[in-house]
Chain A
């Protein structure tokens, strides 16, 4: 199905709505921003359906549109400076173990947002989406050595940033 059939596009939206939602959420730092990014990516994808060279690979093509949307957003945020901090209300009733883990999880997500978008992308694809370096290279059109270099820089920055909580 390609351009022109609006109602069949609704089926595509429904089918792929959540497939990359987690990737967008980890790239942007919140589900709300991920929702905006996925929505915008679907609209942009509809506009560019004629340029989708492999109709059977709508998912991969859509991912690239969404990825570019996420990278553009983080670069915009990086230029604008940090926005209002999320207000964190500690839940007094949480058990000890999960509380510490949740704190570490929040710290890691914040640290991820402080990486460059390219470093964060490879970290999310490998450690959140569980892709191999080969799969990431195929998806992004990058070389494996360059991906590893980005990832290893990400590891170092995360360790430095999180050394107090690990």
Chain B
């Protein structure tokens, strides 16, 4: 299904409505719209001064050319110039640039210290209110983001999905996958940017706790 903005959010994008004018259920969509407008590149563009000389050189050449009928000039195709810029890198140069970036950061080798494997696991209950969902699962660092290993089941109250998962002691990031296509955060947990334009929920499991302690 194609994702489209609600008509009111489009008017919000147009500047006709403020966020306060929108019903609360549209606020998340409006914030996504704000993020879109927030990355519009409005930086001024300054063209090289050499452009003036090139234009005038061509203008003078045409001005001194034999007179042509005006409809012949209008019929001339647009001149599409391909101008090689010295700073456009070909694939090999780009790769070399990346390689330089990687190698330039190398420091004297430092022996890596092994991390002891966490010997304990703690059962953690994940709950999500998702009315209308047909299937919900939880995926995260504890199951290699494999959404098939931890499906949630309807849990009594309408729209509530839940499951209990044994998590190793430590900190984990996770998200719910609804109907196999929509990633949803846990509204009750702290969140951090996931690097893919979304956020991950965070849970920390401590040894000896009766249940999960979401830090």
Please give the residue numbers on chain A whose beta carbons come within 8 Å of chain B beta carbons, in ascending order.
6, 9-10, 13-14, 17-18, 21-22, 24-26, 31-32, 34-36, 38-40, 42-44, 46-48, 50, 69, 72-73, 76, 87, 89-92, 96, 100-101, 104-105, 108-109, 126-128, 130, 133, 148, 151-152, 155-156, 158-160, 162-166
What separation, in Å, do the CA atoms of A10 and B52 have in the docked complex? 7
- Chain A proximity of B90: nearest CB distance (Å): 8
Interface residues on B, range: 35 or more
B35 near A166 with CB under 8 A, answer: yes
**Bound Cα distance A32, B40 (Å):** 19
Further contacts, 18 of them, CB under 8 A, given A90-B98, A164-B197: A6-B56, A13-B55, A13-B56, A18-B46, A22-B44, A26-B41, A31-B45, A35-B47, A35-B48, A46-B62, A92-B105, A128-B41, A148-B14, A151-B14, A159-B3, A159-B36, A163-B3, A165-B197
Quick one: which of B37, B42, B47 contacts A17, CB cutoff 8 A?
Answer: B47
What residue in chain A is nearest B46 (Cβ atoms)?
Answer: A18
7 A–B contacts, CB within 8 A, in A order: A9-B56, A18-B46, A31-B45, A90-B98, A126-B14, A162-B36, A164-B196
Q: Which residues B5-21 have CB closer than 8 A to chain A?
A: 5, 7, 10, 13-14
How far is it, in angstroms, between the C-alpha of A38 and the C-alpha of B70 when the chains are bound?
Answer: 22
- Chain B residue numbers with a CB within 8 Å of A18 are 44-47
For residue B89, CB closer than 8 A to chain A, the reply is: yes
CA distance A32 to B83 in the complex (A): 8
Q: Which residues of A contact B116 (CB under 8 A)?
A: none
Please give me the residue from chain B that is nearest to A132 by CB atom.
B15
CA–CA, A156 to B36, complex, Å? 12
Contact between B39 and A32, CB atoms less than 8 A apart: no
Q: A97–B107 Cα gap in the complex (Å)?
A: 26
A34 adjacent to B47 (CB under 8 Å): yes
For B4, list chain A residues within 8 Å (CB): 155-156, 159-160
CA A48 to CA B72, docked complex, whole Å:
12
CB contacts (< 8 Å) of A21 on chain B: these are 44-47
